[in-house]
A and B are shown apart, each in its own frame.
Chain A
Amino acid sequence: MFKNTILAALSSIMFAGPALAELVVPWFAYRTGAYAPSGIPLVDGINDYFTMVNERDGGIGGVPVRVLECETGYNTEKSVECYESTKAEGSLVYQPMSTGVTYQLIPKATADGIALHTLGYGRTSAANGRVFSNVFNYPANYWTAASVAVNHLLAENGGSISGKKVTLVYHNSAYGKEPIRVLELLADKHGFEFNAIPVDHPGQEQKSQWLQIRRDKPDYVLMWGWGVMNSVAINEAANIRFPMENFIGVWWSGSENDVLPAGMRADGYKALALNAPGTDYGIYDELKANVWDKGLTAGAGDQIGSVLYNRALYMGFLTHMAIKKAQEVTGVADISQADMIKGMEALEITDAMMAENGLAGFAPSFKVTCEDHGGSGLGAVQQWDASAKTWNLITDFIEPDMGMIAPLIKEDSEAFAKENNIAMRC
Chain B
Amino acid sequence: MLYREAGDFSTTYREDNQTFPIRFDRYRYYAVMLIAFLVIPFFVNDYWVNAIFLPFLIYSIAALGLNILTGYCGQVSLGTGGFMAVGAYAVYKLMTAFPDISVLIHIVLAGGVTALVGILFGLPSLRIKGFYLAVATLAAQFFLVWVFNRIPWFYNYSASGQINAPERTFLGFTVTGAETKAWVAYLVCLVFVTISAIVARNMTRGALGRSWMAIRDMDIAAEIIGVNPLKAKLSAFAISSFFVGISGALYFSVYLGAVEVGEVFGINKSFLVLFMIIIGGLGSVFGSFIGAAFLVLLPVLLKNVLVGYFGWQTDVAAHLEFMIIGGLIVWFLIVEPHGLAQLWRLGKEKLRTWPFPY
Contact = CB atoms under 8 A, between A and B. Distances in A.
A113 B166 CA distance: 19
B300 A81 contact: yes
Contact of A178 (B45, B160, B308): B160
B315 interface: yes
B149 A103 contact: no
Interface string B151-192: 000000001111010110000000001110000000000000
Given A110-B178, A174-B161, A200 B262 contact: yes
A14 B311 CA distance: 10
B34 interface: no
Interface of A: 1, 3-4, 6-7, 10-11, 13-14, 29, 31-32, 69-71, 73, 75-77, 80-81, 84-85, 87-88, 99-100, 103-104, 107-108, 110-111, 123, 172-174, 177-178, 180-181, 198, 200-201, 412, 419-420
Given A77-B55, A99-B160, 16 more contacts: A1-B32, A3-B298, A13-B308, A32-B315, A75-B263, A77-B256, A81-B51, A85-B47, A87-B46, A103-B160, A103-B162, A173-B263, A174-B162, A177-B159, A200-B262, A201-B262
B46 A84 contact: yes
B219 interface: no
A111 B179 contact: yes
A188 to B, nearest CB: 16
Nearest to A123: B160
26 contacts: A3-B297, A3-B298, A3-B301, A7-B300, A10-B301, A10-B308, A10-B309, A29-B314, A32-B318, A69-B314, A71-B318, A73-B318, A75-B263, A76-B259, A77-B264, A80-B255, A88-B45, A100-B258, A107-B177, A107-B258, A108-B178, A111-B179, A172-B149, A177-B161, A181-B159, A420-B167
A70 B304 CA distance: 11
B325 interface: no
Interface of B: 32, 35, 45-47, 50-52, 55, 149, 159-162, 164, 166-167, 177-179, 255-260, 262-264, 266, 293, 297-298, 300-301, 303-305, 307-309, 314-315, 317-319
A105 to B, nearest CB: 9
B152 to A, nearest CB: 10
Contacts of B307: 71
A201 B50 CA distance: 25
A71 B159 contact: no
Contacts of A99: 160
A212 B227 CA distance: 51
A73 B293 CA distance: 21
B314 A10 contact: no
Contacts of A172: 149, 262
A76 B264 contact: yes
A24 to B, nearest CB: 14
